Each structure stands twice: as C-alpha cells, then as structure tokens.
Chains A and B, each alone.
Chain A
Amino acid sequence: MVLDGKVPEGPIEQKWDRHRSRLKLINPANKRKYRILVVGSGLAGASAAASLAELGYAVDCFFFQDSPRRAHSIAAQGGINAAKNYPNDGDSIWRLFHDTVKGGDYRAREANVYRLAQVSNAIIDQCVAQGVPFAREYGGTLENRSFGGAQVSRTFYARGQTGQQLLLGAYSALLRQVAAGRVRLHRRCEMLDLVVVEGRARGIVTRDLITGKFERHAGDAVVLGTGGYGNVFYLSTNAKGCNVTAIWRAYRRGAFFANPCFTQIHPTCIPVTGDHQSKLTLMSESLRNDGRVWVPKRKGDTRPPNRIPEEERDYFLERRYPAFGNLVPRDVASRAAKAVCDEGRGVGPGGLGVYLDFADALERLGRPVIEERYGNLFDMYKKITAEDPYGTPMRIYPASHYTMGGLWVDYNLMSNLPGLFVIGEANFSDHGANRLGASALMQGLADGYFVLPYTIGDYLATAGKSGIDTDHAEFVAAEEQVRGRIARLLGIRGERSPDSFHKQLGRLLWNECGMSRNEAGLRRALEEIPRIRDEFWRNLRVPGTADTLNQTLEKASRVADFLEFAELMVRDALHREESCGGHFREEHQTEDGEAKRDDERFAYVAAWEFRGDGAAPELHKEPLRFDHVKPEQRSYK
C-alpha cells in the first residue's frame, strides 16, 4: 500500500495557512461535549492538553509519574530553535526549514518541516508570555546561541535547563486548566492498551500503579505524546521510566510504526564506568560551542591530557570538517568519535572516550563567562566523575539519546487509525533520519500548541461523537487481555529479574544496531532477540502482587514490549540498504567514511503494519518528494 501523507495543495509557504482556514470547526458550546484522552504530560502532551482545554474540550491526561512536571522533556538542556533572526545573521523560516531537512538527511516530509519552521516563532512568543526565564541581553531582549548543524545563532535557552523551563511553562498552563475543571489528571497511571472499535481509536485501558486497578477510558479521540524508545538500548540518556509501551500497544492494534531504525546517538555523554551503570548522562550539545574535541594522535597514548603537547593532539572534528568544526550534526560527530576510538586512540578506561576541552575558551573568555554559560553542566560532570572540567578536559562518548522513528502520522498528526493522534517524539517526526540540536523542544511544542488543536477539531467535526462507552465488547476484551498479560508476568516465577533481560537486550542492540550496522550483525540480532524473549517468558521473576505499587512488575511489562519492538527495529535497519543520518550501514559509505544515501531506492518513509505474533510485519511506503530542498550528499566540510 502506498501511504498518503495528506499534504495540502498549494505553494509550500501557504500550505499550512490555507489548510488551517479550511479545517472544519466545532461550535464553542459543543466542544465541552467531546472528550479527548491525552497520554503523556511532556512538552507535547502538556501543551496539547492545556491548549485543547482552553478551547473548551473535556480533557483527560494520563502519566506514569507522580506529577506532570516529571516528564522527561524536563531533562533537555541546550535550547529551542526558532527563526526569529534576532541576531541579524541571515536566519529565516526558509533557512530553518532547509537546515532541518538537510540535517535529517532528506528523510522527512518537506511540508511538515516547513510548517514546523513557520510556527517556531510563535512558540517563543508563547513561552515568554508564560514567564519562561530565557537568557537575556543587557538591554532586556532575548539572547541566542548557536547549535550543531546550523551556521546561524537561532537557539533560545534558559541556562542549561531549557527543557525544564519550557515544560514548567506548559505544566503551569495545564494546571490552570485542571483548576478550571477542564482537565482531569490521572497520576501514576500507565496506558497498557489502545481500544479500537471498527477501525477507529475509541479509548484506552490503563493500570493505576498504586492500587493496581485496571480502568477503561472512552474518548472521542486519543492523543499519544508518550515520547521515544531510546531505552531499548538499556543504557541511554532517557529517564529510567521512558518506554515504548503506549506506541507499541497502538502498533499491535493496527497503527503503523514508521522508521523504527532511525535512532539518534548523541556525541557528548559521560562515558560508561562499569556494570553498575543504570543510565548515561548527556552533556549538552551547547558545550561544543566553546569546547574543542580531540584525542591523542598516537595510539595507546596514556599520558594525562595536560601532558600531551598541542602538536600531538588530533582535533579530529576541526580537521575533518573545517566549515562546521566542532558543531557538525550529532550523527556525524558520534561516528567520528567512534572511528578514532576504533583506531585505538580513545581515552579513559576502556578507551571509549574523547576529550572535550575548554582550556582555550577559559583563556579567551575567562572563567566567569564559562560559569554563566555552562556552570550547571560543569557541576554535574564533576559530581558524576569526580573530575574538575575547569582544570582537566571532559571525557565524552556517544550514547542513545533520541528516536526519530515512531508511529506514522499524516500532515494532521493523525495515524492511519482514525481518531488516534500522535505528537512529539512519539510520532515518526519531522526530523528525518537525524534530528538537529534544539529541535525536539521545538517540535514537541509546535505539535501541542499550534498544530494538533487545529487538526483534531477537523477530525471531531467530521467524525462526530464516538457514542461508544466502556461497556462495549472491545473495551471488555482489551481489559481482559491486559489483565491476562499482567497475571502471566507474575505467574512465571522463574529466576531472572526484568533488568537482567533488559541489559542483555540493550547490549545486543548497541553492538548490532547502534552507531553502525551491517547485514551479518543485524541477522545475528534477528536470531538472538526471539531467544531472549523466549527465555524472558519462561524464566522471569517478579516478586510481589499486582494490587499494590510493584515497580518490578512495571519494569517487566515495559521490557516485554521492548523485546517485541526490538525485532521490528532490527528488521527495519536490515531492510534499509543505505546509510542516512543516524542509520549507518557499513556496506554503504563513501570513500572517506560518510553516510551514502540511496535516493533511487529508499527516499520513502517505511511504515510497518502488525500482522500478528509470529508473522512478518507488512511494509508500507510513503514516498518522499523534495521539491524545495534538493537532496545532495550532506557536506559539513
């Protein structure tokens, strides 16, 4: 089946405005009769829930943490992009659009990316009005900084805590609507299934994580803003709770999963120290503005960094990419770091690390400026490693960070299942095969504040009230299945913990489907994953019961879904016989080791349809057309 992205007609600059003014509307007095279920309370979920409630809809918001403010958007550090052109350095909507399409290695839908660039400016206005304390110039105007993959300074930031401040803004707007009685919050409540009736999304089944109670919720539309699946690698920069469950359950109910192999490995994370490691910590990309990345020129050089003279250092990013230097996009920087470590020139324990050195910046700008820009990041680094980055270079290594893949959506952010909308990182996104820094926050808020509130109204006006309540046979059946699955997890009574399986899966994927992939490795993974899954269902141990807070049970349920999802991710990586963005197939590279796309065969979105357990998923393609940004070999030289 050839998928239709439903991109509106007309010149790209006018598509969104024209589309917006033609979407059907719902009378203000009737909006409160429509119930919308929003799953997730991060930037996308909270901004959508708040904006929909402001419009008058009845909204329910579900999240597994104790407060909406905990969602993982909170951890984004560096900033948010917008095409304001305040620094007068030549930025424009067109340029932001162009950089994002190119940064994504020509695997995103042009019209969506253009819309994203268009609404980016309104996001900044909205956030400032909410009281987000962005960095300011002395004159009181907003300050910008530069980020990877761009030659203009278009990134707005709030120290190293931009995600936190933007989320607190959306969260405050959400709480205002809760107080007004238009949003009901469901804390510590996890979505475990999607209910589909006659092809339309009609509700969800949840489990209350404290009482263990299963609940059925019916709605006129379901919105998933449940984030990415980077934790499939076990070690990642994602929060421990981030999981694939909501979108995986929707996939099993018929929603198409697009480009699952597009995962982003972030170049600047604190290296792994040992087996006890439970997660990896990101050091913001903004550090690459002033930090210089290097390794010793000589293999096995174990001298402390301060003893290695200038001429014996290899500033490999500046050497290989003179135009962008340390600010090349993430996929390029990560692979370059892996390459020097593979040559045996890596630093630190195990040789899996490169230096990020601030000595020059400290000399040029002085310590107070560096403290103001990156103080909290330096403190965090020191706490974790017990090394002082003001005196010795940081050691960094790439880690799983973001996932460009996700549920397939059309231009209206609706999946192939009518009534199911997917926003933020959970959808297959506007970032193609590689996301540029400071663009995730932009997309999450664009979807939630400025796109979904329009497009969902059109769906509701066309489809009308659902009229299906939670006594419907599909709701009853879905709850039965969820109950059965939870009981099964508890009933295995084997010997291994959920974490032990998760670690095993993560290691396998990191080796075979991580920063670089090849056919033999991917085939190995395809054989190995079902084996791990079989053992999981035979030998899992979950102590305790289902009718109380049971964190081991929560983990087990999420790991079970990762074990199914992993296979789809590897299958997608195997089928895509080209390199693009974060997906690097060793068989497909240029002479100097850069990613080599195959636009003839692979300029499409790969959307997979579930065909039953044990059956191969079916591939559907949405062809990608590039009428405005001509695909070329990405060059940051």
Chain B
Amino acid sequence: MNFTLKVWRQAGPQAPGRLVTYPAEGISPDTSFLEMLDIVNERLIAKNEEPIAFDHDCREGICGMCGAVVNGYAHGHERRTTLCQLHMRSFRDGATICIEPFRARAFPVIRDLVVDRSAFDAILMTGGYISIRTGAAPEANAIPVPKENAERAMDAAACIGCGACVAACPNASAMLFTAAKIGHLGLLPQGQPERFDRVRTMVSAMEQAGFGSCTNHGECEAACPKGISMDFIARMNLDLIRAAIRHR
C-alpha cells in the first residue's frame, strides 16, 4: 500500500512547528501504524535526515505511551484502539494521512509528536490513591466487594492514562481521566474513607494544571481506547456536590 504522510515536525518546545510531507510507499497491510512510522524513519535515517520523534513502548495497547491525532482523530479513526493497535489495512490505499501531536495547553509539545503528560501524574498525586502503608493491610477476604461493584470499578480502572480524552475534547478537559480514577476508588469499600476529600482535591488539581472544563461534548468517550464511559463524569460531579454539602 502507498500513503502520503503529513507529519507535524517541531524541533523543540519553543521552536515553531509545521506539517512536512513524506511518502510512505510499499507498506504491507499487516503493518501497524507505528511500524509504518518505523519504516518511514528508517528511510529518513538512510537519507541522513532526523527521524520523526514519537512516543511508544509496549505496542500492545496497555502502557498508554503512544498517541497522536491522525486525520483529526486521537489514536486514529478506529474505535477503542490505541495508535499502536491501529493497522494500515484500515486505511484506503493511496490515502493522505495527517499526523499531529495531542494538543492541549496542559500537554506542551516536547518534539514532533512527543508531548509532556506529566500533568496527569500531578492530578493523581493529590488523591488518586488509598492511603495504606505497606504491611498494614487486613486479610484480603475480610473486605467483601459485590461482584457488580468490582466489575464497574474495573471498567474505570482500565484507563491507560494516554491523554486521548484531553486531545479529543474541544476544551482540552481532563474530566474523563480524573473521573475514571475517582470512580474506580469510589466504587470500592476500600476507597470510602477518603472519597469526598479525594474528589475535591483532584478536581481542583485538574483545574490548576491548565485543563479546561467539561461541556458534555462526549468526544472523550468516543476517543477513549478503553471505552471508558462518561457516566463516570456524572458520578464524579455528584460526588463533588455531595462533598461540597458535607464540607459546609
């Protein structure tokens, strides 16, 4: 298969960026999107040009390291798919493919397609945990968890922290990311003691990190490679109101 790529090239955080056109020819349909970029990069190295910088690691859709906006979609057009799991067979032969970094004020570009997502850690640092010391845990089966809650908590905990929700949101909001962690811990009995403090500190940290607010576009859920539901945002908002009432 043959493609024409338009790739965002930016030498550093302060440098201006621009779209540069590269041919990607003779690509097998079984090639993954990142392997296609590998091939293009090998050809760039052969021409003594600097390869396209992009983040990636596990290449099986779980580490959350990869991600780019492909033809306007975070992680590309396939639903519930990370960029590393997107295969070239899902593109039309001869297509032009536009590749840009995830864009958000809270995710500054480092180089080309690589962005800084440490703002996500900053949110979780303020409460995305259960305060338990190593060694202080009670016997595991002493805390029964209804199967339904465990499953629902797992639905939220499946978040891989890739940032596609932020990239897809017109407001660059991190609501889905934040709500997923709050939902995961808030649905479990272990998470109850800190539940309302957690929602207050994490939402405030999210705002301070420069993410926008939610206006219910729903782009986040559509872009999420793990299919995390917006229902968790509603749940988080309800907890936030409860927290405000309790706090008064």
A complexed with B: yes
> With contacts A84-B140, A159-B154 known, is A187 near B118, CB below 8 A?
yes
Q: In whole angstroms, what is the CA distance A383 to B125 when docked?
A: 34
Q: In whole angstroms, what is the CA distance A497 to B43 when docked?
A: 10
Contacts of A127 in B (CB 8 A): 140
Within 8 A of A (CB), among B95-123: 110-111, 114, 116-118, 120-121
Q: In whole angstroms, what is the CA distance A282 to B60 when docked?
A: 9
Contacts of B137 in A (CB 8 A): 122, 125-126, 128-130
Of A122, A282, A379, A551, most buried by chain B (CB within 10 Å of CB) is: A551
Q: In whole angstroms, what is the CA distance A67 to B177 when docked?
A: 15
> With contacts A274-B30, A276-B39, A549-B111 known, is A133 near B188, CB below 8 A?
yes
Q: In whole angstroms, what is the CA distance A370 to B106 when docked?
A: 40
B135's contact among A122, A159, A380, by CB below 8 Å, is which? Answer: A122
Q: Is the interface of B mostly helix, strand, loop or mixed?
A: loop
B130 touches A129 (CB 8 A): yes
> With contacts A125-B138, A138-B147 known, is A66 near B117, CB below 8 A?
yes
In this assembly, does B16 line the interface, its C-beta being within 8 Å of a C-beta of chain A? Answer: no
> With contacts A278-B34, A541-B48 known, is A70 near B130, CB below 8 A?
no
Q: In whole angstroms, what is the CA distance A541 to B47 when docked?
A: 10
In this assembly, does B191 line the interface, its C-beta being within 8 Å of a C-beta of chain A? Answer: yes
Contacts of A159 in B (CB 8 A): 154, 158
CB distance from A166 to the nearest CB of B (A): 11
In this assembly, does B32 line the interface, its C-beta being within 8 Å of a C-beta of chain A? Answer: yes
A131's contact among B27, B126, B185, by CB below 8 Å, is which? Answer: B185
B125 touches A179 (CB 8 A): yes
In this assembly, does B243 line the interface, its C-beta being within 8 Å of a C-beta of chain A? Answer: no
Contacts of B110 in A (CB 8 A): 210, 549
B121 touches A72 (CB 8 A): no
B128 touches A175 (CB 8 A): yes
Contacts of B45 in A (CB 8 A): 497, 541, 543, 552
In this assembly, does A473 line the interface, its C-beta being within 8 Å of a C-beta of chain B? Answer: no
Contacts of A67 in B (CB 8 A): 117-118, 120-121, 161
In this assembly, does A412 line the interface, its C-beta being within 8 Å of a C-beta of chain B? Answer: no
A548's contact among B11, B31, B120, B126, by CB below 8 Å, is which? Answer: B11
Contacts of A279 in B (CB 8 A): 59-60
A277's contact among B35, B81, B117, B118, by CB below 8 Å, is which? Answer: B35
Q: In whole angstroms, what is the CA distance A135 to B128 when docked?
A: 21
A282 to chain B: closest residue by CB: B60
B65 touches A70 (CB 8 A): yes
User: Which of A139-147, A320-328, A423-431 has 4 or more CB atoms under 8 Å from chain B?
Assistant: A139-147
Q: In whole angstroms, what is the CA distance A50 to B131 when docked?
A: 12
B134 touches A50 (CB 8 A): yes
> With contacts A136-B150, A178-B125 known, is A164 near B39, CB below 8 A?
no
CB distance from B1 to the nearest CB of A (A): 12
A386 touches B87 (CB 8 A): yes
Contacts of A74 in B (CB 8 A): 58, 62-64
B37 to chain A: closest residue by CB: A278
A172 touches B128 (CB 8 A): yes
Within 8 A of A (CB), among B140-173: 140-141, 143-147, 150-151, 153-154, 157-158, 160-161
CB distance from B188 to the nearest CB of A (A): 5
Contacts of A142 in B (CB 8 A): 140-141
Contacts of B157 in A (CB 8 A): 133, 158, 165, 168
CB distance from A45 to the nearest CB of B (A): 14
B161's contact among A50, A69, A72, A176, by CB below 8 Å, is which? Answer: A69
B63 touches A179 (CB 8 A): no
> With contacts A161-B158, A543-B45 known, is A131 near B191, CB below 8 A?
yes
Of B55, B116, B137, B140, most buried by chain A (CB within 10 Å of CB) is: B140
A136 touches B130 (CB 8 A): no
CB distance from A450 to the nearest CB of B (A): 7
Contacts of A137 in B (CB 8 A): 147
CB distance from B9 to the nearest CB of A (A): 13
A136 touches B145 (CB 8 A): yes
In this assembly, does A626 line the interface, its C-beta being within 8 Å of a C-beta of chain B? Answer: no
B30 touches A276 (CB 8 A): yes
In this assembly, does B207 line the interface, its C-beta being within 8 Å of a C-beta of chain A? Answer: no
A449 to chain B: closest residue by CB: B134
Within 8 A of A (CB), among B39-96: 39, 41-42, 44-46, 48-51, 53, 55-65, 80-81, 85, 87, 89
Of B53, B57, B121, B143, most buried by chain A (CB within 10 Å of CB) is: B57
B38 to chain A: closest residue by CB: A278
B150 to chain A: closest residue by CB: A136
Contacts of A178 in B (CB 8 A): 121, 125
A130 touches B145 (CB 8 A): no
Contacts of A273 in B (CB 8 A): 28, 30
> With contacts A133-B184, A384-B85 known, is A278 near B35, CB below 8 A?
yes
CB distance from A30 to the nearest CB of B (A): 19
Taken residue by residue from 21 to 33, chain B's Cβ proximity to chain A (1 for < 8 Å, 0 otherwise) reads as: 0000001101110
Taken residue by residue from 497 to 538, chain A's Cβ proximity to chain B (1 for < 8 Å, 0 otherwise) reads as: 101100000000000000000000000000000000000000
In this assembly, does A75 line the interface, its C-beta being within 8 Å of a C-beta of chain B? Answer: yes
B140's contact among A72, A128, A450, by CB below 8 Å, is which? Answer: A128
Contacts of B185 in A (CB 8 A): 131
In this assembly, does A124 line the interface, its C-beta being within 8 Å of a C-beta of chain B? Answer: yes
Contacts of A69 in B (CB 8 A): 64, 121, 161
Contacts of B130 in A (CB 8 A): 129-131, 172
> With contacts A122-B135, A158-B154, A175-B121 known, is A239 near B59, CB below 8 A?
yes
CB distance from B130 to the nearest CB of A (A): 5
> With contacts A128-B143, A176-B131, A543-B50 known, is A70 near B57, CB below 8 A?
yes
B147 touches A136 (CB 8 A): yes
> With contacts A131-B190, A543-B45, A544-B50 known, is A276 near B28, CB below 8 A?
yes
In this assembly, does B132 line the interface, its C-beta being within 8 Å of a C-beta of chain A? Answer: yes
CB distance from A403 to the nearest CB of B (A): 17
Q: In whole angstroms, what is the CA distance A379 to B79 when docked?
A: 12
A66 touches B129 (CB 8 A): no
Contacts of A544 in B (CB 8 A): 50
Q: In whole angstroms, what is the CA distance A156 to B132 when docked?
A: 20
Contacts of A141 in B (CB 8 A): 141, 144
Q: In whole angstroms, what is the CA distance A129 to B141 when docked?
A: 10
Within 8 A of B (CB), among A159-205: 159, 161, 164-165, 168, 172-173, 175-176, 178-179, 185, 187
> With contacts A240-B59, A541-B45 known, is A386 near B118, CB below 8 A?
no
In this assembly, does A112 line the interface, its C-beta being within 8 Å of a C-beta of chain B? Answer: no
Contacts of B246 in A (CB 8 A): none
Q: In whole angstroms, what is the CA distance A548 to B55 when docked?
A: 15
CB distance from A309 to the nearest CB of B (A): 30
> Would you list 18 pairs from A and B whose C-beta atoms are within 8 A, ordered by A residue?
A51-B134, A70-B57, A70-B63, A125-B138, A129-B190, A131-B153, A131-B190, A158-B157, A159-B158, A175-B129, A176-B131, A276-B35, A384-B87, A386-B87, A497-B42, A541-B48, A543-B51, A552-B41
Q: A128-B143, A549-B114, A551-B51 are in contact. List 8 more A-B contacts (CB 8 A).
A: A125-B139, A129-B130, A130-B130, A159-B158, A175-B129, A449-B134, A453-B134, A549-B111
